[in-house]
Amino acid sequence: MSAFDERERALEDKFKHDQELQFRIHARRNKILGLWAARLMRLPALEYDGYAKSLVMTEVDQHGGSEAVIRKLLTDFEDRGVEISEHRIRRHLTELQELARKEVMSEVKG
């Protein structure tokens, strides 16, 4: 294998690794966000985890990233009579992104 091939392979491996980390961070963020939302909507405690998983799947299934998650949250909050602004959801999503990143990175390093 030539040096060029090795470098190309290393870059592809790094890209794959970075994409996997981003997926894990977003999944963790969405799970935490879902637990927060479930409490605000006063869902039964037994439904918290299922709702959180539904947010994780929303981003995956709809290929809409964070915007799909925000749309789902806005709709679900409205359906449950919870008054919350899109700005507050976005702000909380940003805060949880950093928390999720720290958690995932500590697991990767540890």
Cβ atoms of 74 and 86 within 8 Å: the answer is: yes
Q: For 33-85, how does the pLDDT look when each residue is reduced to its tens digit (9 = 90+)?
A: 999 999 999 999 999 999 999 999 998 887 778 899 999 999 999 999 999 99
What residue spans define the domains of the chain?
Answer: 3-109
Residue 81 φ then ψ, to 5°: 75, 25
| CA dihedral over 73, 76, 80, 81, signed as positive or negative | positive
Q: For 1-11, how does the pLDDT look when each residue is reduced to its tens digit (9 = 90+)?
A: 687 677 777 77
Classified by CATH at the fold level, domain 3-109 comes out as: Major Prion Protein (1.10.790)
